[in-house]
Amino acid sequence: MLNISIVLYNPDWTQVNNLCDELLRAKCARRIFLVDNSPKMTYSSEEKKKITYQWNEGNNLGYGTAHNIAIRQSVRWHTPLHLVINSDVWINAEDLDLLHDFMMEHGEVGSLMPKVVYPNGELQYVCKLLPNPWNVFARRFLPMKWTKKSNERYELRNMGYDRPMNVPYLSGCFMLLQTAAVLKARLFDERYFMYPEDIDLTRTIHRDYLTLYYPAVTIIHDHAKASYHNWKMTWVHITNMCRYFNKWGWLFDKERRLFNRLTLSQFDTLGK
């Protein structure tokens, strides 16, 4: 069994309701938590069985903090798995059951990410090395032609994305988590308002578990990249990345070097 959390901010309720309907078709789904950071309560659908809606009274708690509300409930209920998912993601119920069964059979996997594509079918590069300050600055502010080679290495594009990979940074749009693993990692770090909380949590879980990219299942993510189009969100991104590097190290991060080296050696072992 698993619980599911979706954090909302002025959402498209048609999109949210369609996703919830599909998730609840999965045999493994126990409860969906809708945690709403919106300025006003906007829940517009009829109350549904297995859905808990929480409006945070106009307080935007941030992404990780809002998900933690639901994750703590999974811990209290001893629910073995917890899914963190964005409202702009689509997964078929049957595929969610397949991922659930895989995770239940592989307790060594602490976090799992399926293959992710855009609505047009284009692959999203959701597996990454742990970033250094250069990665963050170059990707946001320098022309793509200047950073193509380093960006391809950072996004592990030469790995092919056609086989399972154990990597230290998986996108936060879909995180299927062993509840025991996320509890050991002390949940999302609530010092981050938004953006690097997925890096932080994945690398912490990666210390003790596999954090696995699993392309046997494909999901669709209508990724907007808000921080690339909105200067306010750009500032939020920069501020929280500074918090991340203050925590883990700007230039000197021994764990980053170790995890990235082991990830790339995994690639070498595969004979590429």
Per-residue pLDDT tens for 225-254?
544 557 788 889 999 999 999 999 999 999
Partners of 3 in beta bridges: 31, 82
Return d(Cα 17, Cα 53) in angstroms, integer: 12
Amino acid at residue number 196: P
List the Cα angle 175/179/181 in 5-degree steps. 85
CA 267 vs CA 29, 190, 204: distances in Å: 35, 33, 21
Nearest CA to 33 out of 45, 51, 16 is that of 51
List, for residues 109-151, the tens digit of each pLDDT value: 999 999 999 999 999 999 999 999 988 887 776 677 677 888 8
Q: What pLDDT, in 10s, does the model give residues 147-176?
A: 788 889 999 998 889 999 999 999 999 999
Q: Does domain 2-269 have CATH number 3.30.360.10?
A: no
What number of other Cβ atoms are within 10 A of residue 215's Cβ?
17
